[in-house]
Chain A
Amino acid sequence: MLVYVDGQRRQCKIDGKIKVSDLIVRLGFTRETVIAKVNGKVVTEYDYAEPSDRVDLIRVSTGG
């Protein structure tokens, strides 16, 4: 799984499918502070990411 935070690659060992909310916590964020994209599509924290997916977390509190 390729994981990016604000476009920066993050090393993160994940075996198999993972719920987006769990991935958010694993990366040290909370639900309120990020928006997740899986393969370029905005998803909810209740969706899942597969090992072959690219996941982007975008932090919401930067700049105005």
Chain B
Amino acid sequence: MKCSECNNEAVIYLSYSQKFLCSKHLSRLVEKRVGASIREYGMIEGRKRIGVAVSGGKDSLTMLYLLHKLLGKDRRLKLIAITVDEGIKGYRDVSIRNARRLAKSLGIEHHIYKFTDYAIPMDRLMKHKKTDPCSYCGVFRRWILNKAAGELKLDALAIGHNLDDIIQTFLMNMMRNEPLRIARFTPNGGIIESEAFVSRIRPLFSIPEREVMAYALCNNIDFHNGECPYAAYALRNPVREFLNNMEEKYPGVKFRVLNSYLSVLKNMKVPENLTTRTCITCGGPSSTEQCKRCILLDKLKKQMGH
């Protein structure tokens, strides 16, 4: 098929706009949209040191590549890549190599923070047959990213959530009746703002997952395309399937859900009791006396006989 904009062969059909796009025009569209998101949501306004969380998968490496392409020439800004190594053999050790290679080729400083140093590596944890690995991993990963942000003096931390991630999370939070989580999961920042908690920015929030993948392939971004061996997407999988089926039947539905979510966000009131405190054990941000990571770590160490 030919591109709707030029005479080149198309690499993707966008059913929501009924357009075929070649590699060049898809790249242009993605870059334009990401650039517009960054500006519209003031993602880098007044910020100098931007951390970029890279796992080595398609989303995070595409984000790193795009941020470098769109912002790399701005001498006032510094991009710093951060990878969290959860200690999953055959998965994370492989993807870290992809992250390292891309950061190096773009000349971006890259730091690796390990679960071994700040938590319990997932392989070891799973030997104790823990259920719900994603929630353990998430608590530790968030804590480590905050720690990294503090040490590296980051003004913001870019996370590679794409449009599909955002709307899946939005629907899941509605299904669980967790409106505060909706308020927290925003394109720029969130309602938890404190010195110890670095603002998250999500530059890919308006790019559908399939377009991120196509962009990565067309731009020869060498990403790792593996699945976490411990992934247990209890609610996410059916929600993802539902949204994909809806999009096939009603093209554009994903963008409409995204727009609903953005409107809901604008009209949400920030509850006052969400201001953060400091954890008595680690000094990190927390809504209670001790943070989730420290509570979890104490509990696990006891259970695992440390």
Residues of A within 8 A of B12 (CB): 35, 42, 44
Is the CB of B89 closer than 8 A to any CB of chain A? no
Report whether A46 and B244 are in contact in the complex, using a CB–CB cutoff of 8 Å.
Answer: no
- Report how many A-B pairs have Cβ atoms within 8 Å: 75
Chain A contacts for B209, CB-based, 8 A: 60-61
Does A13 make an interface contact (CB < 8 A)? no
Check A42 against B224 for contact (C-beta < 8 Å).
Answer: no
Q: Which of A15-64 contact B (CB under 8 A)?
A: 30-33, 35, 37, 41-47, 58-64
B160 at interface by CB-CB < 8 Å? yes
Q: Does residue B9 face the partner (Cβ distance < 8 Å to A)?
A: yes
A42 with B58: in contact, given A30-B244, A62-B225 (CB under 8 Å)? Answer: no
Question: Given that A30-B248, A42-B23, A63-B224 are known contacts, is A35 also in contact with B213, CB under 8 Å in the complex?
Answer: yes
Judge whether B224 and A58 touch: CB under 8 Å: no
Q: Are B225 and A42 in contact (CB under 8 A)?
A: no
Q: Would you call B210 and A47 a contact (CB within 8 A)?
A: no
B-chain residues with CB within 8 Å of residue A42 when the two chains form the complex? 11-12, 23, 214, 217-218
Q: Are B227 and A63 in contact (CB under 8 A)?
A: yes
What separation, in Å, do the CA atoms of A31 and B208 have in the docked complex?
13
**A64:B55 contact, CB within 8 angstroms:** yes
Q: B22: shortest Cβ distance to chain A, in Å? A: 10
A residues in contact with B225, CB < 8 Å: 6, 58-59, 62-63
Q: A30-B244, A35-B214 are in contact. List 13 more A-B contacts (CB 8 A).
A: A6-B225, A30-B248, A31-B15, A33-B210, A35-B12, A44-B13, A46-B1, A58-B225, A59-B225, A60-B209, A63-B55, A64-B55, A64-B161
Closest 3 CB pairs of A and B: A63-B57, A32-B244, A42-B11
> Can you name 25 A-B pairs with beta carbons within 8 Å?
A30-B245, A32-B244, A32-B248, A33-B244, A41-B11, A42-B11, A42-B214, A42-B217, A43-B1, A44-B12, A44-B13, A46-B1, A58-B217, A60-B58, A60-B209, A60-B210, A60-B212, A61-B164, A62-B226, A62-B227, A63-B56, A63-B225, A63-B227, A63-B228, A64-B55
